[in-house]
Amino acid sequence: MAREKRTYAQEVCVKAAGLAMQKTGMLRPGCRIGVAVSGGVDSFVLLKTLKIRQGIVPFRFEIMALHCNPGFEPDAHAALLPWLAAEGIPGHLELTDHGPEAHSERNRKRSACFRCAWLRRKRLFDLCRDYRLTHLALGHTADDLVTTFFLNLCRNGRVDGLAMRESFFRGGLTLVRPLLLVEKKYVSAAARQWGLPVWRNACPSAGHTARSEMEATLRQLAAGIPDARRSILRGLTRWQLTRDTAGEAAETSRTDGAAASD
């Protein structure tokens, strides 16, 4: 079968995901990946990219789409099921009340976004357990890394980003972010070029969060300094990749040492 001809943006997504996988030891033969699909461009491109990489890597791994509709528009994900069927990707789709609950009077201690994200993450972990998945893949991009880094620094006094690979539940589940080296502009372009059935975010808090405020602040910073945005993106992605690569090397060393002592 002839190789699918890909655009520049699509190729950036596929190759950068491959680099992240190779450098951090993100996947292993036989792993079963649950891909958290929200319906936005990031998670949709992640799902498509992993589907392509199944035909590239020299070992077999499985992917499964996991979608938890937050409950604002119950039929928003209607286009996802036929798309998954056409791509040959299994999926679990369910309707929740996470969004309305997070915005209700019952949630007074935390922000609506924190509560909704916490409920969604908890449900995704449960689904990974129920389907015996070894990995949970999230569609965070390089732009998300930058925003998270500055939120951690400015609000929490912490120098921290987003790991490309991290273990939960004593290593029983590995959370991965294969698109963390990819700029959002390439992800958005690839989604359009692939014709992915992305749907709008119906959350009433969309565009009015701490994250969106930080994104606006960073745009203002970049507007006043030539090449600031490009430099920040490149600098932080290199920094994160170095951290994650070092972490993978340390983990491999610990594993080898334990095996040698057995």
CATH number at 171 reads 3.40.50.620
Question: Tens digit of pLDDT for each residue in 216-254?
Answer: 999 998 888 889 999 999 999 999 999 999 877 556 545
Dihedral, CA of residue 192, residue 233, residue 153 and residue 249, to nearest 10 = 100
Q: Tell me, yes or no, whether 94 lies in a domain.
A: yes
Do the domain assignments include residue 2? no
Task: Please report whether residue 1 resides in a domain.
Answer: no
d(CA 257, CA 262): 9
Residue tagged 């749907």 (tokens): 199
The pairing of beta strand 173-176 with beta strand 135-137: parallel
Helices and strands (H, E) in the chain, number of each type: 9, 6
Q: Range of 64's domain?
A: 8-254
Number of domains in the chain: 1
Confidence at 101, pLDDT banded by 50, 70, 90: confident
User: Contact at 8 Å (CB) between 157 and 197?
Assistant: no
Q: What is the pLDDT of residues 136-176, one digit of tens each?
A: 999 999 999 999 999 999 999 999 999 999 998 877 999 99
Say if pTM beats, i.e. exceeds, 0.85. Answer: yes
CA distances (Å), origin 43, targets 49, 59, 249: 10, 23, 28
What are residue 65's DSSP bridge partners?
Answer: 35, 91
Q: Does residue 112 fall inside a structural domain? A: yes
* CB distance 135 to 107 below 8 Å: no
Confidence of residue 258 (pLDDT cuts 50, 70, 90): very low
pLDDT, one tens digit per residue, over 68-81 is 999 888 888 999 99
**Cα Rg for the chain, rounded, in angstroms?**
19
* Positive/negative CA dihedral, 145, 150, 155, 157: positive
pLDDT band per the 50, 70, 90 thresholds, residue 94: very high
What's the pLDDT band for 205 if we cut at 50, 70, 90?
confident
**Amino acid occupying residue 135:** H
Judged by average pLDDT, the poorest of 11-25, 93-107, 156-170 is 93-107
